[in-house]
Structure 1
Amino acid sequence: MVLNFLKPTYLVESVYDLSVDELKKHNIKAVLTDLDNTLLAWNNPEGTPELHEWLKETKEAGIEVIVVSNNTWQRVEKAVGDLGVGYVAWSLKPLPRGIHQVLKEHGFKKDEVLMVGDQMLTDVWAAHLAGVKSVLVKRLIESDMWQTWVNRFIENQAKKIIYKNQEPVWHDSLAKAVSTKEEQELHDGK
């Protein structure tokens, strides 16, 4: 398919639906995550209780959460400084630069990380270019920063082609997303 580079490995409703048990089962040692509308709503810098609980659980399980963002250092530091997570700013997604930086600095293998984000044109494409699995999540809130509007328009057109004018099927856990992907691959003869 022409747009395979934009097709996520998995569709999961929220980054918070990536449970520690499921991440461990798939040998995931780090969740690389976009910042705005993925980890935090762009207009809620403190985050939700759900975010803080998820970060606590991943930290206790020894799974690192690292933000890979196109935002400036100042913006990312201000947003995640109190959350106790690592970060890469100015990552230049869809270029894989930020993901490669994390892999090199932390010594992770490509199959030990997931790149999670709410945009196909930046997060998913960067994951594909870096050779890591991608998780597309629904954006936390419907509004976006103005810089994202063009991406959303292009992404909506790409989704129509990738999913053949059907709504994508979102899952409330990684286990369900993995199961569905394996079933689809069997159906497609891969």
Structure 2
Amino acid sequence: MYYLLAPNEQVNSLGDINIINLGEKGICGIILDLDNTIIPWNSYNMSPEIVKWIGSLTEAGFKIILVSNSGLKRVGEIALKLQIPYVAQAYKPAKLGFYKAATLMGLDVSQVAVVGDQLFTDIFGGNRTGFYTIWVKPLSTKEFLGTKITRYFEKLAVRFLRARGFLN
């Protein structure tokens, strides 16, 4: 069961994701987490680099969608700025939000990657539903209280996964 916490890839930043490699794997849709993946937690401010990176993905032909546990209003406003669809209040790691995102993109599970900063929501949820998963370092240490607690257990899981060769 612990293998469900192991991402297919781990990167330091979104810019480190090799989109050519994803295309070669048959990936043509990307589910992006919101908080601490593309913007700092509880923020509305996106860096120009992130906006440019998302634009380069769409120019390369990838379908992009935000999937977040955050509220409808905030996620909707950010998605509107980026001109991409979204699923808010997704209750990750529940499968429903992930499946809804794939359906909205019109893609099969095998064609979609999940990119997020949390093992217990983004990666676990993505792996449970059969998506290709990419774990990215969080943008900020400022987080929701529940996430701070989860990070403690995430550190333990990372040690365990590294000891068994699932992470480098």
Q: Is TM-score (shorter-chain normalized) higher than 0.5?
A: yes
Q: Distance in 2 between matches of 1:134 and 1:101?
A: 17
Matched, 1:64 2:78: no
Matches of 1:165 and 1:9 in 2, distance apart?
15
How many angstroms apart in 2 are the aligned matches of 1:13 and 1:153?
A: 19
Note the alpha carbon deviations across 1:11-32, whole angstroms, 9 max, x for none.
Answer: 1112232244333222221110
Distance 1:22 1:163, change over 3 A: same
**Cα distance change on mapping 1:19 and 1:5 into 2, 3 Å:** closer
Structure 1 runs (4+) deviating above 4 angstroms are none
SS in 2 for 1:82: helix
Partner residue in 1 for 2:147? 148
Percent sequence identity over aligned pairs: 29
Distance 1:84 1:94 in 2: 25
The answer (yes or no) to whether the contact 1:159–1:165 under 8 Å persists in 2 is no
- Measure, in 2, the Cα distance between the counterparts of 1:21 and 1:161: 31
Instruction: Determine which structure has more spread, i.e. the larger CA radius of gyration.
Output: 1
Q: Which residue of 2 aligns with 1:174?
A: none
Deviation at 1:130, TM superposition (A): 0.7
CA distance in 2: counterparts of 1:133 and 1:49, whole angstroms: 26
Q: Which residue type is aligned with residue 137 of structure 2?
A: K
Contact 1:20 1:57 survives alignment (8 Å)? no
- What CA RMSD, in Å, does the superposition of the two structures yield over aligned residues? 1.9
> How big is each residue's C-alpha offset from its partner over 1:86-114, in whole Å with a ceiling of 9 and x where there is no partner?
11011111111111112223321112110
Aligned residues: 167
Contact 2:29 2:105 in 1 (8 A): no
Name which of structure 1's ranges 82-91 and 23-32 shifts more when overlaid on structure 2: 23-32
Query: Which structure 2 residues correspond to residues 58-137 of structure 1 after superposition, within 5 A?
Result: 58-137=57-136
TM-score by length of 2: 0.90
Alignment gaps of 5+ in structure 1: 170-190
Q: Which moved more, 1:19-28 or 1:8-17?
A: 19-28
TM-score for the superposition, normalised by structure 1: 0.80
Q: Match for residue 156 of structure 2?
A: 157
The superposition leaves residues 61-102 of structure 1 with CA deviations (integer Å, 9 ceiling, x where unpaired) of 121111111111112112332111111011111111111112
5+ long unaligned stretches in structure 2: none
| 3-state SS of 1:144 partner | coil
* Distance in 1 between residues matched to 2:67 and 2:149, nearest whole Å: 20
Change in Cα spacing, 1:20 to 1:158, as seen in structure 2 (3 Å) is closer
